[in-house]
Amino acid sequence: MNPKRLASKSLLLLFVSVFALSCGGPAELSIKESRYPLIPKPQHVEAQDNEFVFNANTKIIYDQKNPDVGMVVDFLRERFGIPTGYSFEQTNAADTNVIILKLDPTVGEAEGAYSLLIEPSKIEVRAPQAKGLFYGVQTIRQLLPPEIESRDTVEGMRWSVPGVKIKDAPRFQYRGMHLDVGRHFFPVEFIKKYIDLIALQKMNYFHWHLTEDQGWRIEIKKYPKLTQVGAYRKQTLIGHGSKKPYIYDGTPYGGFYTQDQIREIVDYARKRFVTIIPEIEMPGHSSAALAAYPELGCTGGPYMVQERWGIFPDIYCAGKEKTFQFLEDVLTEVVDLFPGKYIHIGGDEAPKDRWKECSLCQERIKTEGLKDEHELQSYFIQRIEKFLLTKNRYIIGWDEILEGGLAPQATVMSWRGIKGGIAAAKQKHDVIMTPTGYCYLNFYQADPRTQPLAIGGFLTLNKVYNYEPVPRELNEEEAKYILGAQGNVWTEYILNGREVEYMAFPRAAALAEVVWTNKENKDWADFLSRMEGFYKHLAALNVNYFRGNIGDLIRDKK
- pLDDT-based confidence at 32, cuts 50/70/90? confident
Instruction: Report whether 358 contacts 298 (CB < 8 A).
Output: yes
The one-letter amino acid code at 538 reads L
- Separation in Å, CA 305 to CA 289, 347, 433: 8, 19, 30
One DSSP character per residue, 250-261 reads ---EE--B-HHH
Helix (H) or strand (E) holding 60: strand 59-61
Instruction: Report whether 221 contacts 259 (CB < 8 A).
Output: yes
Instruction: Report whether 71 contacts 62 (CB < 8 A).
Output: no
One DSSP character per residue, 338-362 reads --SSEEEEE--S---HHHHH-HHHH
Cα–Cα distance, 290 to 304 (Å, whole number)? 8
pLDDT at 1 over 60: no
Cα–Cα distance, 486 to 484 (Å, whole number)? 7
Give the pLDDT confidence score for residue 397 in this predicted structure.
Answer: 97
Residue in 452, 453, 549, 557 with CA at minimum distance from that of residue 510: 549
Give the pLDDT confidence score for residue 9 in this predicted structure.
Answer: 36
Within 10 Å of residue 329's Cβ, how many Cβ atoms? 14
Give the pLDDT confidence score for residue 69 in this predicted structure.
Answer: 98
185-194, 332-341, 402-411, 477-486: the lowest-pLDDT one: 402-411
- Separation in Å, CA 284 to CA 184, 190, 268, 440: 18, 28, 31, 21
The residues of the chain that CATH labels 3.30.379.10 are: 44-168
Burial pattern 49-77, b for ≥16 Cβ within 10 A else e, equals eeebebeeebbbbbeeeeebbbbbbebbb
Instruction: Report whether 133 contacts 113 (CB < 8 A).
Output: no
Give the pLDDT confidence score for residue 552 in this predicted structure.
Answer: 38
Helix (H) or strand (E) holding 109: none
Under DSSP, the state recorded for 200 is H
Give the pLDDT confidence score for residue 94 in this predicted structure.
Answer: 79
Architecture of domain 44-168: 2-Layer Sandwich (3.30)
Strand partners, 61: 100
- pLDDT-based confidence at 15, cuts 50/70/90? very low
Higher-confidence residue of 540 and 24: namely 540
Burial pattern 4-27, b for ≥16 Cβ within 10 A else e, equals eeeeeeeeeeebeebbbebbbeee
Give the pLDDT confidence score for residue 93 in this predicted structure.
Answer: 83
Residue in 544, 543, 534, 528 with CA at minimum distance from that of residue 461: 528
Show Cβ contacts of residue 141 under 8 Å, excluding neighbours closer than 6 positions: 79, 80, 148, 200, 537
174-518 CATH = 3.20.20.80
Phi, psi of 216 (to 5 degrees): -100, 120
Instruction: Report whether 116 contacts 164 (CB < 8 A).
Output: yes
The residues of the chain that CATH labels 3.20.20.80 are: 174-518
Strand partners, 444: 458
- pLDDT-based confidence at 95, cuts 50/70/90? confident
For residue 506, say if its preceding peptide bond is cis, omega within 30 degrees of 0: yes
**pLDDT tens by residue, 376-427:** 999 999 999 999 999 999 999 999 999 999 899 999 999 999 999 999 999 9
- pLDDT-based confidence at 4, cuts 50/70/90? very low
Average pLDDT score over the chain:
93
Which is it for strands 253-254 and 174-180: parallel, antiparallel or unpaired? unpaired
pLDDT at 35 over 60: yes
Give the pLDDT confidence score for residue 30 in this predicted structure.
Answer: 52
- pLDDT-based confidence at 303, cuts 50/70/90? very high
Q: Angle at CA 159, nearest 5°, toward 142 and 156?
A: 130
- Separation in Å, CA 315 to CA 220, 295, 326, 435, 527: 19, 11, 14, 25, 45
Instruction: Report whether 546 contacts 72 (CB < 8 A).
Output: no
- Separation in Å, CA 24 to CA 373, 457, 458, 529, 531: 48, 21, 17, 11, 13
Mean pLDDT in residue range 112-131: 98
Q: Angle at CA 36, nearest 5°, toward 31 and 38?
A: 95
- pLDDT-based confidence at 520, cuts 50/70/90? very high
**pLDDT tens by residue, 429-463:** 999 999 999 999 999 999 999 999 999 999 999 99
Instruction: Report whether 464 contacts 437 (CB < 8 A).
Output: no
Cα–Cα distance, 503 to 193 (Å, whole number)? 15
Give the pLDDT confidence score for residue 132 in this predicted structure.
Answer: 98
**pLDDT tens by residue, 248-284:** 999 999 999 999 999 999 999 999 999 999 999 999 9
Strands in 408-530 per DSSP E: 411-414, 431-433, 482-487
Instruction: Report whether 355 contacts 376 (CB < 8 A).
Output: yes
Cα–Cα distance, 253 to 231 (Å, whole number)? 8
Give the pLDDT confidence score for residue 22 in this predicted structure.
Answer: 44
Please state the separation of Cα 8 from the chain's center in Å. Answer: 35
Give the pLDDT confidence score for residue 349 in this predicted structure.
Answer: 95
pLDDT at 59 over 60: yes
215 by DSSP, 3-state: which? strand
Cα–Cα distance, 367 to 362 (Å, whole number)? 9
Q: H helices of 274-358, where?
A: 287-292, 321-337, 353-357
**pLDDT tens by residue, 181-231:** 999 999 999 999 999 999 999 999 999 999 999 999 999 999 999 999 999
Give the pLDDT confidence score for residue 199 in this predicted structure.
Answer: 98
**pLDDT tens by residue, 79-92:** 999 999 999 999 98
The one-letter amino acid code at 304 reads M
Show Cβ contacts of residue 275 under 8 Å, excluding neighbours closer than 6 positions: 204, 205, 206, 269, 340, 342
Give the pLDDT confidence score for residue 24 in this predicted structure.
Answer: 41
Give the pLDDT confidence score for residue 14 in this predicted structure.
Answer: 42
Helix (H) or strand (E) holding 538: helix 524-540
pLDDT at 359 over 80: yes
Give the pLDDT confidence score for residue 11 in this predicted structure.
Answer: 38
Give the pLDDT confidence score for residue 549 in this predicted structure.
Answer: 54
Strand partners, 211: 216
Cα–Cα distance, 82 to 516 (Å, whole number)? 29
Helix (H) or strand (E) holding 142: helix 130-143
Instruction: Report whether 76 contacts 139 (CB < 8 A).
Output: no
- pLDDT-based confidence at 548, cuts 50/70/90? confident
Helix (H) or strand (E) holding 177: strand 174-180
Please give the share of the chain, as a percent, with pLDDT higher than 90.
90
- pLDDT-based confidence at 7, cuts 50/70/90? very low
